[in-house]
Amino acid sequence: MIYVKLGNSLYEKQGIHVISSIFTVENGITKVLLIERSYEPYKGMWALVGGALYNNEDLVVGAKREIYEKTGIKDIDIYLSNVFGKVDRSPLMRMVAVSFIGVIDSAKVEILKETMSTSDALWYPIDKIPNLAFDHVEILNDGLEMLKKKIGESDILRALYPNGFTIPEIQKVYETVLNKQFDRRNFRKKLLSLDLIQDTNKTKNFMGNKPAKVYKFKTGNIKNKSLL
């Protein structure tokens, strides 16, 4: 029976896209990494980082491979986000997209401007996104919602602070991503109650101010509560 299936043209020419919304937060602005496509379809247009999955790799592996091939980024944690499967979402072939989100510090990575299939790469503020290829606008907006959810229940921001962070520092990141202000004292209590971070007994000095305690994300953490 499966051989009948393989011979049925309705089962042919299908593939899986693995597409990542890679975010960073700098100076109160949430940005996403976009690449410029150097081949058809959508040649010359901007797009999220991704491509077609190989048939011999897991989803996350494929998504990370695409990230590496198109941006040079090697170490990044990504989280499954959603699925996009409209019949016509890709013009050349039926492709179902599996989307991921990830966060890195744009200041700490070197982004390749040009690769085999891209002619540029840039961090775009999420409120200044150009026209994107495929259904990437939809995927990006959905990924942004997932990011807002994830920062309240996971260590997805870990990559921004590999050496730890102070609470006032990371509060600015939360406020930027969620586009919302928090009371300093309540934010501290709330964040600590989420059981995501821990004290490091170190402090960090800023010019002319009281030193701030340094915290870090816990290692094997469980996520129960949400921030918003």
Smallest distance from a second copy to CB 205, Å? 42
Phi, psi of 14 (to 5 degrees): -125, 150
Reported in sequence order, the residue ranges of the chain that DSSP labels E, i.e. its strands, are 14-26, 29-37, 46-47, 49-52, 78-84, 94-103, 118-125, 197-204, 212-217
166 touches DNA by CB under 7 A: yes
55 touches DNA by CB under 7 A: no
Smallest distance from a second copy to CB 171, Å? 25
167 touches DNA by CB under 7 A: yes
188 touches DNA by CB under 7 A: yes
Whole-angstrom Cα distance, residue 50 to residue 154? 23
With CB under 7 A as the contact rule, the residue among 94, 149, 213, 216 that binds DNA is 213
Tokens of 151: 């920062």
56 touches a second copy by CB under 8 A: yes
Residue 117 binds which one of a second copy, DNA, none, with CB within 5 to 8 A depending on kind? a second copy
> Given the complex with DNA, which of 93 and 228 has the nearer CB atom?
228
Q: Three-state SS for 201?
A: strand
- The contacts found for 138-141 with CB under 8 angstroms, 24 or more apart, are 138/84, 139/19, 139/21, 139/48, 139/82, 139/84, 139/97, 139/99, 140/21, 140/32, 140/48
179 touches DNA by CB under 7 A: no
Tokens of 167: 């609470």
Smallest distance from DNA to CB 176, Å? 15
Smallest distance from DNA to CB 226, Å? 8
Secondary structure element (H or E) that encloses residue 53, with its range: none
> Given the complex with a second copy, which of 17 and 31 has the nearer CB atom?
17
Q: For binding to DNA (CB under 7 A), which residues are involved?
A: 166-169, 183-186, 188-190, 193, 205-213, 225
